[in-house]
Copies of this chain bind each other. A is one copy, B any other.
Amino acid sequence: MILRWVCAVALLTGLLMGGTAQAAGSAEREKLLSDPGVYATFAAFQMKHEWWNLTGEARVIAVSEVKGLIEQFSSKIVVETYLLRGLSDHADFMFRLHARSLSDNQQFLVSLLGTRFGRYLEAATYLQGVTKPAAYASEFSDELKAALKGQAEVGARPYVIVIPIRKDADWWALDQTARQALIQEHTQAALAYTPVVKRKLYHSTGLDDFDFITYFETDRLEEFQRLMRALEQVKEYRHVRRIGHPTLLGTLSPLDDILESFAR
């Protein structure tokens, strides 16, 4: 028994030490994270209490199976992982998946939930979205366009916040010019925070109960809060019918660290 345990640990360590095979090649990875037309699935899970009734050995084996699975999907999907535990209730960790096709994200999650590890997971929240070329940016003033060029630098384990949003009917009834003006004001208000808060927008209309998923990474939470306050003070905010519910707050965390905490 003890021998098998040692082997199992070795197996896991081997996998964990083998380095996190980057999803897709480095270039393709960058493209998946920046191209329009890429599908993102946010999947937050909670580990069921019964997991801890497994033997340590069984847990180690189950976790190593997940590692193998991620390797297997790495050519198609960029998998990023976040630790939500202690910051968001009802969820322990979250995947953000990027793929050219939403059904690849589904196949990965179906495979994950079919593992022995996955049988103990409870899906807390799924959000689905797609990246698109910026809808209003082409009409922005040249100064605004120039100012938007910079991209925030964040450290290795920044805070991550995911806030889904639904706009009201009045918003969609506005014509393109009116919406253009409101978004320009919104963008201007956010500009000062570009150097410290990384933002990404996903369109989820029709895929879940929201219109947008807003995603933020930052090392500096207070600057992030100032950004959110600034966005509450522009006219566009009056058209936000639902914001959050849930708000997901966590920290970027390597998959190995998250899995290891469930193998221990």
Could you tell me if A209 and B245 are in contact, using CB atoms closer than 8 angstroms? yes
Could you tell me if B89 and A124 are in contact, using CB atoms closer than 8 angstroms? yes
Could you tell me if A206 and B222 are in contact, using CB atoms closer than 8 angstroms? no
In A215-238, which residues have CB < 8 Å from any B CB?
216, 221-222, 224-225, 227-229, 232-233, 235, 237-238
Residues of B within 8 A of A151 (CB): none
Could you tell me if B173 and A233 are in contact, using CB atoms closer than 8 angstroms? yes
Could you tell me if B114 and A86 are in contact, using CB atoms closer than 8 angstroms? no
User: CB-defined interface of A162-201 with B at 8 Å, one 1/0 digit per residue?
Assistant: 0100000100110000000000000000000000000000
User: CB-defined interface of A130-170 with B at 8 Å, one 1/0 digit per residue?
Assistant: 10000000000000000000000000010101010000010
Residues of B within 8 A of A163 (CB): 206
Could you tell me if A159 and B102 are in contact, using CB atoms closer than 8 angstroms? yes
Residues of B within 8 A of A11 (CB): none
Q: How far is the CB of A46 from chain B (nearest CB, A)?
A: 9
Complex: A43 Cα to B89 Cα, angstroms: 9
Residues of B within 8 A of A161 (CB): 206-207
Contact of A225 among B157, B206, B209 (CB under 8 A): B206
Indicate whether A109 reaches chain B with its CB closer than 8 angstroms.
Answer: yes
Asked whether A85 and B113 contact (CB < 8 A) given A120-B49, A221-B130, A238-B173, the answer is yes
Q: How far is the CB of A220 from chain B (nearest CB, A)?
A: 11
Interface stretch of the complex, out of A22-30, A62-70, A246-254: A246-254
Q: How far is the CB of A191 from chain B (nearest CB, A)?
A: 17
Nearest to A50 among chain B residues (CB) is B49
Indicate whether A20 reaches chain B with its CB closer than 8 angstroms.
Answer: no
Could you tell me if B251 and A103 are in contact, using CB atoms closer than 8 angstroms? yes
Q: A85-B106, A205-B232, A208-B244 are in contact. List 5 more A-B contacts (CB 8 A).
A: A114-B264, A173-B233, A203-B225, A207-B247, A209-B245
